[in-house]
């Protein structure tokens, strides 16, 4: 799926893609910006940085989809219930175990993301 927005690589401001740029990203068209009638760079309204249109079209600047946090929190809650009801630990210990599971998952996902780059 293509994103409808992209981030300025310098100031991280979220900018809206033009409908044409969105459709090209959605369809997976790998045309050069000039062929498609785009200027080679887009000026960021926030910081004035010249953003590469090619990188924007390729989806390199799309906001990262955060699917890890909801999963990690779900597992954290499940482990809380497991330790509280299944293992009979106290509330404090169960909450602690839930937090540990959540942060281990978030840390592992972050590490995985770093190693892929
Ligand atoms: Zn900017």
DSSP string, 70-110: HHHHHHHHHHHHIIIIIS---HHHHHHHHHHHHHHHHHHHH
List, for residues 16-61, the tens digit of each pLDDT value: 998 888 888 777 777 677 777 888 899 999 999 999 998 888 888 8
Measured in Å, residue 12 CA sits from the centre of ligand 1 at: 6
Tell me: do 14 and 44 sit in the same domain. Answer: yes
CB-based neighbours (< 5 A) of ligand 1, an ion: 8, 10-11, 13, 44, 46-47, 49
Question: What share of the chain has pLDDT > 90, as a percent?
Answer: 41
Regarding pTM above 0.75, the answer is: no
Structural domain includes residue 75: yes
Measured in Å, residue 46 CA sits from the centre of ligand 1 at: 5
Phi then psi for 42, rounded to 5 degrees? -115, 135
Tell me: do 82 and 42 sit in the same domain. Answer: no
Structural domain includes residue 63: no
Measured in Å, residue 4 CA sits from the centre of ligand 1 at: 17
Measured in Å, residue 40 CA sits from the centre of ligand 1 at: 16
Please state whether beta strands 5-7 and 14-16 pair in parallel, antiparallel, or not at all (unpaired).
antiparallel
Number of domains in the chain: 2
List, for residues 59-92, the tens digit of each pLDDT value: 888 887 667 778 888 999 999 999 999 999 999 9
Measured in Å, residue 97 CA sits from the centre of ligand 1 at: 40
């Amino acid at each position: 799926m293509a994103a409808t927005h992209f981030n300025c690589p310098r100031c991280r401001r979220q900018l809206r893609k033009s409908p044409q740029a969105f459709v090209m990203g959605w369809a997976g068209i790998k045309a050069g910006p000039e062929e498609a009638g785009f200027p080679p760079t887009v000026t960021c309204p926030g910081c004035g940085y010249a953003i590469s249109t090619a990188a924007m079209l390729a989806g390199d600047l799309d906001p990262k989809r955060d699917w890890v946090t909801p999963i990690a929190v779900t597992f954290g809650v499940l482990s809380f219930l497991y330790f509280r009801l299944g293992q009979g630990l106290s509330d404090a210990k169960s909450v602690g175990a839930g937090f540990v599971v959540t942060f281990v998952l978030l840390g592992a996902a972050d590490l995985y993301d770093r190693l892929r780059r």
